[in-house]
């Protein structure tokens, strides 16, 4: 019998890469996403490739009832849920004084509440069946200080990390394993300036180059998403609590625990550098 997984945000980026890796390992995967058409297309494609299978499904992780229905229907159809991947997320940033409450509400509802909704739905199912694994996707921004323009994103990702640590302790005696994935710069559409529809774009973001452009100019390493997925799935097989990928970001997280001012100084330098870049573009 195939193992069964749900991957939210499964129509693109990290979610799709994780889903692909699971299908290649013989799993059945539900690719759940707001982009229903793309999710179903990828599900059909992956099923043709095998050796596992996949289907696409529509879900808005901001809606707890929709997430609960997805988990219940998947478990009812297959009789098990072995892995819940709470991956759906968005990137919102800008200078703090530019942000409206709608910016904060949108990213919290998606990046933090969306993960909570997934855990809230999947954990009791796994408790009843006596086994299961949850992977929450956070970021290295949930482990170390970020530039000031990333405050909304960092707030949600620190929350996901804290939730995952606590849920891991809660599930340990019940056969439920919980891990948190903390990626660095990964080659996904988020680097190209994807922005939620119908949400005002702060001036500092509108006048900034896409994040990918800035990273390439700075010489930063952008990690391939398929390699991230392989690294993450190997880490899950070893039941690692925190998956920091790529490995060089692990050094920064250790340094922050040992010498906090050093990493805080880097965050301040990045904040100033981003402001300088915006200022230069504004006056071109």
- Tell me, what's the pLDDT at 278? 54
Task: Give the mean pLDDT of 18-47.
Answer: 98
3-state SS of the chain is CCCEEEEECCCCHHHHHHHHHHHHCCCEEEEEECCHHHHHHHHHHHHHHCCCEEEEEECCCCCHHHHHHHHHHHHHHHCCCCEEEECCCCCCCCCHHHCCHHHHHHHHHHHHHHHHHHHHHHHHHHHHHCCEEEEEECCHHHCCCCCHHHHHHHHHHHHHHHHHHHHHHHHHHHCEEEEEEEECCECCHHHHCCCCCCCCCCHHHHCCCCHHHHHHHHCCCCECHHHHHHHHHHHHHCCCCEEEECCHHHHHHHHHHHCHHHHHHHHHHHHHHHHHHHHHHHCC
Give pTM, 2 decimals: 0.92
User: Higher model confidence: residue 146 or residue 66?
Assistant: 66
Task: Give the mean pLDDT of 53-64.
Answer: 98
Query: Worst-scoring range by mean pLDDT, 55-64, 98-107, 198-207?
Result: 198-207
Range of the domain at 117: 4-282
pLDDT at 283 over 60: no
| Token couple for 120 | 């809230």
Q: CATH code at 71?
A: 3.40.50.720
Choosing from 123, 153, 165, 223, which is the catalytic residue?
Answer: 153
| 153 is an active site residue | yes
Q: What is the pLDDT of residues 113-139, one digit of tens each?
A: 999 999 999 999 999 999 999 999 999
Q: How many folded domains does the chain comprise? A: 1
Band of residue 18 on the pLDDT scale cut at 50, 70, 90: very high
- Tell me, what's the pLDDT at 282? 35
Task: Give the mean pLDDT of 74-95.
Answer: 96
Task: Give the mean pLDDT of 62-78.
Answer: 98
């Amino acid at each position: 019998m195939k193992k069964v997984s749900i991957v939210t945000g499964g129509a693109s980026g990290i979610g799709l890469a994780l889903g692909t890796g699971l299908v290649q390992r013989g799993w059945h995967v539900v690719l759940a996403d707001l982009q229903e058409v793309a999710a179903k297309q990828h599900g059909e494609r992956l099923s043709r490739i095998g050796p596992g299978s996949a289907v696409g499904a529509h879900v808005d992780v901001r809606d707890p009832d929709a997430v609960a229905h997805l988990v219940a229907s998947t478990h009812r159809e297959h009789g098990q849920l072995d892995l819940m991947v709470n991956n759906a997320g968005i990137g919102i940033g800008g200078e703090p004084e530019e942000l409206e409450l709608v910016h904060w509400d949108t990213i919290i509802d998606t990046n933090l509440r969306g993960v909570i909704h997934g855990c809230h739905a999947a954990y009791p199912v796994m408790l009843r069946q006596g086994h299961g694994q949850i992977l929450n996707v956070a970021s290295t921004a949930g482990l170390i200080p970020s530039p000031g323009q990333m405050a909304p994103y960092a707030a949600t990702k620190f929350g996901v990390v804290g939730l995952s640590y606590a849920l891991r302790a809660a599930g340990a005696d019940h056969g439920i394993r919980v891990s948190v994935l903390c990626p660095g710069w990964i080659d996904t559409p988020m680097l190209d300036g994807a922005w939620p529809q119908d949400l005002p774009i702060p001036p500092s973001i509108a006048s900034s180059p896409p994040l990918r452009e800035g990273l390439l100019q700075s010489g930063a390493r952008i990690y391939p998403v398929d390699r991230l997925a392989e690294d993450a799935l190997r880490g899950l097989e070893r039941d690692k609590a925190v998956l920091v990928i790529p490995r060089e970001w692990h050094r920064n997280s250790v340094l922050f625990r040992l010498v906090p001012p050093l990493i805080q100084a880097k965050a301040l330098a990045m904040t100033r550098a981003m402001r300088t870049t915006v200022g230069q573009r504004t006056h071109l």
